[in-house]
Structure 1
Amino acid sequence: MKIKLFPTLNSVEEEDLKGTTAVVIDVLRATSVITTAVYNGCLDVVPVLEIEDALTYKNEEVLLGGERRGFKIEGFDLSNSPLEYNRQNVEGKRIVFTTSNGTRAIIKAKYCDTILIGSMLNAKYLADFVVKNGSDINIICSGTDGNFSIDDFLCAGKIIYEINKLKETDMTDFATLAYLTYMNNRENIFEYLKYASHYKYMMSIGLEEDIKYCFKEDILDVVPYFKDGSIKKYPL
């Protein structure tokens, strides 16, 4: 199995993705939100690029969720906090979702044959799925505003670490670096994470509890996948 890691959304080209399996990561917080919502029984999650796109879906059967600069969008039902996407709020609901980075990465990955949603929350279960599937994978880190994010890099390393526990892989140098970074810091991940600029920004706007939740490991046994415009639970 070959593993290639793209450090940012902007490092991905269409030709890189055709005919491949992709894992999209925006650990703080979009893919953590999506994983949580799917686990808690939402009907599906529809990622869109712009606020205006989301508003066209607005009705009593749909929840609008997302953020800009980390803050809830005016007129939306939910923010980008995974803590809001509990079973009481989302079960049986369609969620239309737009964020600064994560939903853009998901939509850009549309050229892949299979698109999976990755987070710390479901890393072990995602790794088990891709190993059983057997195909080579491209891991796409969304990054922050086009820039590299340590937080996504650590999450990618976690997923690669879990895959390598199950199967020998052929990793690119960047994937290897993510693997080693996670492996060497997994016992005290927050000591490394605190150097991330995105972490510092989220702390500055009061999102410490979201960060703590998003870095809980292997607590949700679900693999969300993106197909035909929406994200659902893969039938494991």
Structure 2
Amino acid sequence: MKIDLIISADDISEVKTKGKTVVVIDMLRATSVITTALNNGAKKVIPFLTVEEALEYSKDNRKNFILGGERRAVKIEGFDLSNSPLEYVKELVNDKVVIMTTSNGTRAIKGCENAKNLLIGAMINAKAIAKRIIELDNDVVFVNAGTQGQFSMDDFICAGYMIKLLEENDNVDLTDVAFTAKHIYESHEDIQSFIVNARHYNIIKSLGLEEDLGYCMKKDILDIVPFYENGEIII
């Protein structure tokens, strides 16, 4: 199994993702939100690139949808929920369709539509993702959503953890960047000691969202694998 890694949404290219198993990671916080919402009973999550597209899609049947997302880490005006996974509780999302748009995560997902399999990963479901990758038995590309088109330390170490799990359970051939991500994780298994220096981590902390950070750094608390197909994310 060959394993590669793309460092941000701006670096996604068709030649790198076509025909591969792709895992999109936006640990802080979009892929953590998606995984949590589906685990708490949401029917599906539909990602959009823009606020306008999300509003247009939901306008005729608003009561059946939850609008969620952010711009610059802040809740979008007129939306039901922000990009905090802690808001997507069962009482709100069960049996609902979540319409979502974020600055980085949904853009990364939409950019990988040519993948053979497109999985949604985070720390909270990393072992489940690794297990599914092995079952799919295909070359893998981890796609870090990044932050505003730039490299993001949090997504990088999350990918490193998943790569470490794969190495423990399968024969892998790592690119240099994939090996580096794994090495970073092995040097910082507590996660926080590395990402405390990340710009995005500190933006979220400055907004008083420490509980979100604590939740998103938890490993393997959910055993589901969301996947993107025909414009929708389901399990």
Counterpart in the other structure of 1:15: 15
Q: TM-score, normalised by structure 1?
A: 0.97
Post-superposition Cα deviations, 1:53-76, rounded to whole Å, max 9, x if no partner, equal 111113100110000011111110
Q: Find the partner of 1:81 among 79, 84, 91.
A: 84
Counterpart in the other structure of 1:212: 214
Shift in Å, 1:198 = 0.7
Post-superposition Cα deviations, 1:66-95, rounded to whole Å, max 9, x if no partner, equal 000111111101110000111111111000
Structure 1 residues without counterparts, runs of 5 or longer = none
Q: Distance in 2 between matches of 1:96 and 1:23?
A: 20
Q: Distance in 1 between matches of 2:9 and 2:37?
A: 23
Shift in Å, 1:161 = 1.0
Shift in Å, 1:136 = 0.7
Structure 2 residues without counterparts, runs of 5 or longer = none
Post-superposition Cα deviations, 1:79-135, rounded to whole Å, max 9, x if no partner, equal 100001111111110000000000000000001111000100000011011112111
Number of equivalent positions: 232
Counterpart in the other structure of 2:47: 47
Post-superposition Cα deviations, 1:152-198, rounded to whole Å, max 9, x if no partner, equal 00111111111111112001000000001101210x32121111111
Post-superposition Cα deviations, 1:30-66, rounded to whole Å, max 9, x if no partner, equal 0000010111110100000000111111310011000
Q: Distance in 1 between matches of 2:72 and 2:113?
A: 24
Counterpart in the other structure of 1:202: 204
Q: Distance in 1 between matches of 2:132 and 2:85?
A: 23
Shift in Å, 1:10 = 1.3
Q: Distance in 2 between matches of 1:48 and 1:218?
A: 27
Post-superposition Cα deviations, 1:4-52, rounded to whole Å, max 9, x if no partner, equal 0011111111122211110000000000000101111101000000001
**RMSD of aligned alpha carbons:** 0.8
Q: Distance in 2 between matches of 1:35 and 1:120?
A: 10
Counterpart in the other structure of 2:25: 25
Q: Distance in 2 between matches of 1:168 and 1:40?
A: 34
Counterpart in the other structure of 2:109: 106
Counterpart in the other structure of 1:172: 175
Q: Distance in 2 between matches of 1:228 and 1:91?
A: 22
Percent of aligned pairs sharing the same letter: 47
Q: Distance in 2 between matches of 1:198 and 1:86?
A: 24
